Structure 1
């Protein structure tokens, strides 16, 4: 239902919560984009929740019309919950402090949310690299748009139609506030807090609508070190979250670790038999997977940098798998950042 269809009825009130930590270089870009929304100024507010930054984040936020709250030492999950606690609106939207949203972002999310069925907890869309981001970040964005780069996660812009999904990225989402009154983020979780909440929502029969046209710009990993660190961190957190629930949250999450284990077994088997039999077969399978992903990335980027996709896939799978194994064996199943 659009504003015109609603007649004289006012637009729903929306609170936009931005969680931040040491984001002085990027949070201004985020808040500037939120200030430029086509949604009526008197029908939405911006709330920034800071996890205890030590840089100039607070000074940058003060330049914008936004409330500023501090949860010193708080996890991302705890900061998101604090944002929910201090707002009073019909809908609660989230984006991150390294993102920028289009001017029509809130208008598009609200219009879809108003018309959504009762079992829809929220609306989300893809996140893509900024046009002026480094070439490596754009390559990562294209890789994550492939089925092998993202496991088919709806953050991928390869999903080209509106569809129901079990989870969306929390850097681009709007929730029905009534849902968040009953279901909160886990305040112990610092990575993967959205996946964990959305798993519980899906278990309760709720779903999200994914709209590929409602996209936000997101600063992705700009070098191999940050890329592999993030992959390891996601693997670590996902393993610990799944340990807590005692079941798979995402079916594909153990596969990189299984591939690492299978590769080690194949190597030992070939070494014992003194003949190359299993390792070449695994290498061939990987080459086929990476060739398919490379073709998809090249089609998206039209850049020779697509030739680096096999290296990036190996790094992503390898470090995610290592992190997952570390998470499985960690003493405390509460998912925090890597030690």
Structure 2
């Protein structure tokens, strides 16, 4: 038995295709259930969900982490799977996940299976460009859910939009109710510290609506940087070694510019620009091979925006004071 949890909020434009894809699973109908946990939508999300006969749970004003836990609480399956309300899964999604995790039944350290997420075939060209960029090591930071990894391997974390867990892991570990963005990275960090791993299978991919325009892309990267810094402050240690690199690059670039200004000679900034051109040129070539589109020429601009906005968000997350706890009545 598999319990599929979909977390949603004001998703009337996309949740229908998510639930339709879950309706069409090749997995036996009597061996999976779909639970939709809503954070308090004010649009037509509830109406669309009711058309699919799913179990509807409302967690008004809850964080994503809290919504995921509400789904776990209501789940009855031996496995708990998650996808998001802006995704669509292939018809063999549950079959593939269950087959893969049961192949590791003798591995007590394996608690789940995950796979990549890719743009929808009919998404805007910009979203597909972002998908190809994330397929490069410089665009994804090496995270398996985005980077184009072509082999099954054990990893420390996968994306919560495409994951299946052994339900018994939730007897001891839970998502953090206080975390809204990056809740999967935080949860999987704690699991990895306890010695647990996920199987990453590149063939179990879901379609995911990525940023449709430049503004959304920038906003998302800033929020990711902020969230990762807050999570690392929460634990008092580094979760992903590369998460601070964009902020360090911003600081290093500022110091290099200051040094060149003081010396009245361009020495360090040209070297930094050359290094960025090499990195962005490599990523551009990879994206062009994937998309065969002149839009690949935008990759240097996108990488610069991604690193800068993530770096700014990370610095904000490190320096923003924690909220003052309120006395309970």
Assess, with a 3 A threshold, how the Cα gap between structure 1 residues 307 and 333 changes in structure 2: closer, same or farther: farther
What is aligned with 2:90?
102
What stretches of structure 2 of length at least 5 have no aligned partner?
325-329
What is aligned with 2:327?
none
Counterpart Cα distance in 2 of 1:206 and 1:313: 32
Question: Structure 1 residue 36 and structure 2 residue 24: aligned?
Answer: yes
Counterpart Cα distance in 2 of 1:183 and 1:299: 42
What is aligned with 1:288?
278
What is aligned with 1:138?
128
Pick one of 230, 254, 265 that aligns with 1:264: 254
**What is the DSSP-based 3-state SS (H/G/I as helix, E as strand, rest coil) of the residue aligned with 1:25?**
coil
Q: After TM superposition, give the deviation of residue 65 of structure 1 in Å.
A: 2.0
Counterpart Cα distance in 2 of 1:333 and 1:198: 25
Alignment check: 8 A CA contact 2:175 2:184 kept = yes
Alignment check: 8 A CA contact 1:122 1:174 kept = yes
Alignment check: 8 A CA contact 1:163 1:209 kept = yes
Counterpart Cα distance in 2 of 1:27 and 1:203: 34
Residues 140-155 of structure 1 correspond to what in structure 2 (within 5 A)?
140-155=130-145
Pick one of 172, 191, 201 that aligns with 1:201: 191
What is aligned with 1:182?
172
Question: Structure 1 residue 167 and structure 2 residue 157: aligned?
Answer: yes
Alignment check: 8 A CA contact 1:243 1:333 kept = no
Counterpart Cα distance in 2 of 1:332 and 1:185: 20
Counterpart Cα distance in 1 of 2:297 and 2:305: 14
Pick one of 23, 42, 62 that aligns with 2:50: 62
Counterpart Cα distance in 1 of 2:122 and 2:8: 22
What is aligned with 1:25?
13
Counterpart Cα distance in 1 of 2:171 and 2:121: 37
Counterpart Cα distance in 1 of 2:323 and 2:278: 36
TM-score (norm 2): 0.97
What is aligned with 1:8?
none
Counterpart Cα distance in 2 of 1:106 and 1:124: 11
Question: Structure 1 residue 213 and structure 2 residue 198: aligned?
Answer: no
Q: After TM superposition, give the deviation of residue 330 of structure 1 in Å.
A: 1.0
Counterpart Cα distance in 1 of 2:264 and 2:307: 28
Question: Structure 1 residue 51 and structure 2 residue 39: aligned?
Answer: yes
Counterpart Cα distance in 2 of 1:163 and 1:108: 15
Question: Structure 1 residue 245 and structure 2 residue 235: aligned?
Answer: yes
Pick one of 303, 317, 327 that aligns with 1:327: 317
Pick one of 308, 318, 323 that aligns with 2:308: 318
Q: After TM superposition, give the deviation of residue 198 of structure 1 in Å.
A: 0.2
Q: Which runs of 4+ in 1 moved over 2 A?
A: none
**What is the DSSP-based 3-state SS (H/G/I as helix, E as strand, rest coil) of the residue aligned with 1:236?**
helix
Corresponding residue pairs, total: 322
What is aligned with 1:7?
none
**What is the DSSP-based 3-state SS (H/G/I as helix, E as strand, rest coil) of the residue aligned with 2:242?**
coil
**What is the Cα-based RMSD across aligned positions, in Å?**
0.9
What is aligned with 1:87?
75
Counterpart Cα distance in 1 of 2:290 and 2:198: 26
Q: After TM superposition, give the deviation of residue 226 of structure 1 in Å.
A: 0.5
Counterpart Cα distance in 2 of 1:32 and 1:242: 37
Counterpart Cα distance in 2 of 1:232 and 1:157: 20
What is aligned with 1:114?
102
User: Is 204-213 or 156-165 further displaced after alignment?
Assistant: 156-165
What stretches of structure 1 of length at least 5 have no aligned partner?
1-12, 335-339
Pick one of 261, 279, 295 that aligns with 2:269: 279
**What is the DSSP-based 3-state SS (H/G/I as helix, E as strand, rest coil) of the residue aligned with 2:217?**
helix
Counterpart Cα distance in 2 of 1:333 and 1:279: 38
**What is the DSSP-based 3-state SS (H/G/I as helix, E as strand, rest coil) of the residue aligned with 2:243?**
coil
Q: After TM superposition, give the deviation of residue 272 of structure 1 in Å.
A: 0.7
TM-score (norm 1): 0.94
